[in-house]
């Protein structure tokens, strides 16, 4: 059973940035306005997230990393918080099977913080000889999650990683996307031991400023707003697009569906196609799109390693978005 859990976990969490994505989503769901991320050795040695959200009740700590049970901590109707992979209550459980997990957390009405360690889905002692019970400690409201030695017990997965800086780049990319999308939330992300700030976005930055900070200002200066709503297909979208992505040789695509970063090659191709008539030679599009779709129309039942999302009337919706981009671009002289 343990081997099965470990294999399943390794399929959900393929790279450090997948684990971090789950931690970010949890912290944002907890109402945090500040997320601080610390990374050691491309995330393999340490992925640490400190938030100032609602915290976790001490009574919930024993079952926090048990598969599927934790979803019950939240109202089940809260469909916007469906996890990226289409199932709930699996992220922390998975991580606890393939890493050393430590959580320090404090709710507003608790007089102290509580610290707990997990292994294989359950509470575990911090050190041999100690009990597994959560320990009282000092701390501010919010949660700190430390994921250490990711894949320590999955040697094949560990060997697949060659470069810490490559992994860090993927982590920074994921943090950057959420830093653009999550208005009102401050983000910082840095490598352990590094003097510089790494990536830093203050809570009060506008979306355009966020793009300016994370990507580059030339791109941000030429952003065009798009906004669209349609009741027939049950969606609305807003975003910022630019046909002058000066910083990259590739299309930069920030796509959020119901506030989760997702990939959609269908949308990406369609937008690139739309842009091809407007782009200066050699330029690449930049787009940030936040789509809200009736959750009942989104197919979240895709395979965990497949990070693509499907939704009903995809073709029609994508066409409407591209039309909107064409219209907006047509109105702007470049």
Q: Which of residues 28-67 bind ligand ADP (CB under 6 A)?
A: 30, 51, 53-56, 64
The size of the interface with ligand ADP (CB under 6 A), counted in residues, is 22
Burial 56-70 (b: 16+ CB within 10 A, else e): bebeebebbbbbeeb
Among 15, 19, 21, 22, binds ligand ADP (CB under 6 A): 22
CA distances from 90 to 4, 215, 255, 305 (A): 14, 32, 23, 14
Residue 83 is a binding residue for ligand ADP (CB under 6 A): yes
DSSP secondary structure of 28-83: HHTT-SEEEEEEEGGGTSEEEEEE-S----GGGGGGTTSTTGGGGGS-TT-GGG--
Pairing type for strands 122-124 and 135-137 reads unpaired
Nearer to ligand ADP, 55 or 285 (CB): 55
Q: Does 19 bind Mg ion (CB under 5 A)?
A: no
Cβ of residue 79: shortest distance to ligand ADP, in angstroms? 12
Q: Is 66 left (phi over 0), alpha (psi -120 to 50) or beta?
A: beta
Q: State the number of binding residues for Mg ion (CB under 5 A).
A: 2
CA–CA separation, 184 and 204 (whole Å): 6
* Cβ at position 325, least distance to ligand ADP in Å: 33
Least distance in Å: CB of 235 to Mg ion? 23
The answer to whether 91 contacts Mg ion (rule: CB under 5 A) is yes
Question: What one-character DSSP code corresponds to residue 308?
Answer: B
The span from the first CA to the last CA of the chain, in angstroms, equals 60
Among 7, 11, 73, 112, binds ligand ADP (CB under 6 A): 73
Q: What are phi and psi of 30, to 5 degrees?
A: -80, 5
Least separation in angstroms between residue 15's CB and Mg ion is 17
Best CA proximity match to 314, nearest among 269, 252, 277: 269
SS3 of 92-141: the string is HHHHHHHCEEEEEEECCCCCCEEEEEEECCEEECCCCCCCCCCEEECCCC
How many Å apart are CA 83 and CA 4, to the nearest integer? 21
**Alpha-carbon span 71 to 64, nearest angstrom:** 9
Say whether residue 26 binds ligand ADP (CB under 6 A): yes
Which residue number, 91 or 240, has a Cβ lying nearer to ligand ADP?
A: 91
CB proximity list for 105: less than 8 A, separation 6 or greater: 55, 56, 61, 113, 114, 139, 142, 143, 144
Question: Judged by CB under 5 A, does residue 24 bind Mg ion?
Answer: no
Asked if 84 is part of the footprint of Mg ion (rule: CB under 5 A), the reply reads no
- Is residue 79 at the binding interface for ligand ADP, with CB under 6 A as the rule? no
Q: Which does 64 bind (CB under 5 to 8 A by kind): ligand ADP, Mg ion, none?
A: ligand ADP
Residue 70, binding choice from ligand ADP, Mg ion, none, Cβ under 5 to 8 Å by partner class? ligand ADP
Supply 40's token pair.
């050691």
Binding partner selected for residue 42 from ligand ADP, Mg ion, none, CB under the kind-specific 5 to 8 Å limit: none
Q: In the complex with Mg ion, which residue's Cβ is closer, 24 or 172?
A: 24
Is 88 near ligand ADP (CB under 6 A)?
Answer: yes
d(CA 14, CA 9): 8
The answer to whether residue 143 forms part of the interface with ligand ADP (CB under 6 A) is yes
By the rule CB under 6 A, 70 interacts with ligand ADP? yes
Contact partner, 143, from ligand ADP, Mg ion, none, Cβ < 5-8 Å per class: ligand ADP
For residues 252-311, which are near ligand ADP according to CB under 6 A? none
Which of Mg ion, ligand ADP, none lies near 169, with the C-beta cut-off 5 to 8 A by kind? none
Provide the binding-site residues for Mg ion, judged by CB under 5 A. 26, 91
Provide the binding-site residues for ligand ADP, judged by CB under 6 A. 22, 26-27, 30, 51, 53-56, 64, 70-71, 73-74, 83, 88-93, 143
């Amino acid at each position: 059973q343990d081997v099965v859990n470990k294999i399943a976990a390794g399929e959900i969490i393929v790279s450090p940035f997948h684990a971090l994505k789950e931690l970010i989503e949890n912290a944002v769901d907890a109402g945090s306005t500040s997320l601080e991320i610390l990374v050691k050795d491309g995330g393999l040695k340490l992925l640490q997230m400190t938030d100032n959200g609602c915290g976790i009740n001490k009574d919930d700590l024993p079952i926090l990393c048990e598969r599927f049970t934790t979803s019950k901590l939240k109202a089940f109707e809260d469909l916007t918080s469906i996890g990226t992979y289409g199932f709930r209550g699996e992220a922390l459980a998975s991580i606890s099977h393939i890493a050393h997990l430590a959580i320090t957390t404090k709710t507003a009405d608790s007089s102290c913080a509580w610290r707990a360690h997990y292994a294989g889905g359950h509470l575990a002692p911090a050190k041999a000889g100690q009990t597994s019970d959560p320990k009282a400690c000092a701390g501010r409201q919010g949660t700190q999650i430390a994921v250490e030695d990711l894949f320590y017990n999955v040697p094949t997965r560990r060997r697949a990683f060659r470069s810490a800086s490559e992994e860090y780049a993927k982590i920074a990319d994921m943090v950057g996307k959420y830093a653009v999308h999550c208005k009102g939330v401050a983000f910082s992300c840095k490598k352990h031991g590094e003097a510089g700030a790494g990536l830093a976005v203050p809570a009060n930055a506008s979306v355009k400023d966020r793009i300016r900070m994370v990507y580059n200002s030339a791109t941000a200066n030429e952003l065009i707003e798009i906004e669209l709503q349609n009741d027939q297909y049950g969606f609305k979208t807003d975003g910022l697009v630019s046909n002058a992505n000066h910083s990259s040789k590739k299309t930069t695509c920030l796509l959020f569906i119901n506030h989760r970063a997702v990939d959609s090659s269908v949308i990406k191709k369609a937008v690139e196609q739309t842009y091809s008539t407007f782009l200066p030679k050699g330029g690449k599009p930049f787009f940030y799109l936040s789509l809200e779709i009736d959750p009942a129309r989104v197919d979240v039942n895709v395979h965990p390693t497949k990070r693509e999302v499907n939704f009903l009337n995809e073709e029609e919706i994508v066409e409407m978005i591209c039309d909107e981009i064409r219209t907006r671009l047509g109105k702007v002289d470049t």
